[in-house]
Structure 1
């Protein structure tokens, strides 16, 4: 995010945050999509296909199998509706619905819809941070998608498995699954899936220290996101490219990409992404010794993050976001003290003292 690709966990939807200790920046990671949207599209196609055999006109034949599938479809859709509410509570309720749907699909012998349910359940567990549990369900759905020849479902599952391994820190495993999903997305012409896979693979290569390889993958994903009109992911990719250049010491180049990302995050209303990009811009400007400008950017970033934090009601999420806020404050306080050393009579030490109080009493 998160992105995440590491974005502040303050974006409860799409991104995850990680602050690097060297304050080089924050990458943005796709998270809320372990490609759930693709799964929903696949489901709508599946649900349009008849389950029972055709019957003579004017006669009604109702089987236990069709009843089970019909009830399962209803439960599945209810689960999806709960999931899209985005809260932890709603997602846990979605799990119940999806598990019930899965049971009925199995009773009906519905081999096309069963893996969709498994994929959905795995996705929800992934969102809840239970990655091993997610992998259990993904590993069940994968052979079923292959058995019915659903390459879209197969590609999506492989992508999601890669994402789960990425969050578990198993980078080589993540790459292994991304390398399997990528040609499948290309084969079926799914440019969004292709772009997301390229972006996440780029993140893995960046984490492995292969910065040029990361740039290659990010640079391939960028025009694809633009082609499908996904400005949010375009912003994510621009931010990720900027971070790689920052890590390579090419600060001006990094700033160019961050500056392209910022208006896009604002245009799509991604406040968390905006906060992260501002943080990254502040980090670069600090390295360039543009301390006053860096201060303005980090203050704008903190204002957004504090506003987002105040809207979080879930205790677990609140604790997680609070941890990230502390990292932002640390950067802010260090910057203020750096400014104080250069301008001892300008009151930066007072601002740093006030910031320490806010950080300790959020």
Structure 2
């Protein structure tokens, strides 16, 4: 199945992009400015580690980001760090740990009104449940993320989620239903020029 590390959109199979969520908010004081700059450096380091599949190192980096976010009282950065930790734990197969971090990030994104973060987290939670073989639970989360991605006009998120839903129906042996969702994701991947998604 397709793995999208753009950098965090779990397509069931895929993990939804966190890179767009990695914007450090401006700081107020000298200490906060220094901490915000450190957080930015750590996020750049994390991106390189993720691209190089160095998930254990990325976990350590995101734990530092989480500490800084809490010191800065930056809820968006905190939610993003929690999402990043969940992503990397998911990548190394520590699914319960991943779920714990995703479940911490979800209410923060909701409280912030960050629909992209919310949709990404819901999709990634669905991916964990899918990996655990809890297909009905996976569908519940994918079906919450899909309308959010559509409302945001996030065609990559929409295509990925449709593909993930197709994967769940395939795992359930409901091939006609799986085809319905695969047939919805295919033209989106083509329109996006995403040859990997298309394949």
1:51 alignment partner in structure 2: 27
Give the Cα–Cα distance (whole angstroms) in 1 for the partners of residues 83 and 20 of structure 2: 13
Q: 1:31 to 1:206 in 2, by over 3 A?
A: closer
Q: 1:75 aligns with which of 42, 66, 91?
A: 42
Higher mean alpha-carbon deviation, 205-214 vs 128-137, is at: 205-214
1:10-68 CA-partner distances (Å, limit 9, x unpaired):
xxx66xxxxxxxxxxxxxx9467411xx210221xx23x4232xxxxxxxxx3433332
Could you tell me how far 1:211 is from its partner in structure 2?
1.6
Could you tell me how far 1:76 is from its partner in structure 2?
2.1
With CA pairs under 8 Å and 6+ residues apart, which has the higher RCO, 1 or 2? 2
Give the Cα–Cα distance (whole angstroms) in 2 for the partners of residues 141 and 51 of structure 1: 22
2:115 is aligned with 1:151: yes
Give the Cα–Cα distance (whole angstroms) in 2 for the partners of residues 206 and 174 of structure 1: 13
Q: CA RMSD in A?
A: 1.7
2:7 alignment partner in structure 1: none
Q: 1:32 to 1:209 in 2, by over 3 A?
A: closer
1:41 alignment partner in structure 2: 20
1:212 alignment partner in structure 2: 176
1:128 alignment partner in structure 2: 92
SS of residue matched to 2:96: helix
Give the Cα–Cα distance (whole angstroms) in 2 for the partners of residues 68 and 142 of structure 1: 24
Q: 1:168 to 1:33 in 2, by over 3 A?
A: same
1:120-170 CA-partner distances (Å, limit 9, x unpaired):
111000000111100000001000111111100100000000001100000
- Structure 1 unmatched ranges of 5 or more: 4-12, 15-28, 53-61, 236-362
Contact persistence 1:145–1:153 (CA under 8 A)? yes
SS of residue matched to 2:122: helix
Q: Which TM-score applies when normalising by structure 1?
A: 0.51
SS of residue matched to 2:75: coil
Contact persistence 1:69–1:110 (CA under 8 A)? no
Contact persistence 1:64–1:108 (CA under 8 A)? no
1:199-237 CA-partner distances (Å, limit 9, x unpaired):
1101111221222111111111111101111011100xx
- Structure 2 unmatched ranges of 5 or more: 5-9
Contact persistence 2:166–2:178 (CA under 8 A)? yes
1:23 alignment partner in structure 2: none
Contact persistence 2:11–2:161 (CA under 8 A)? no
Q: Tell me which stretches of 4 or more aligned residues in structure 1 moved more than 3 Å.
A: 29-33
1:276 alignment partner in structure 2: none
Q: Which TM-score applies when normalising by structure 2?
A: 0.92
Give the Cα–Cα distance (whole angstroms) in 2 for the partners of residues 157 and 123 of structure 1: 9
Give the Cα–Cα distance (whole angstroms) in 2 for the partners of residues 170 and 84 of structure 1: 29
1:305-360 CA-partner distances (Å, limit 9, x unpaired):
xxxxxxxxxxxxxxxxxxxxxxxxxxxxxxxxxxxxxxxxxxxxxxxxxxxxxxxx
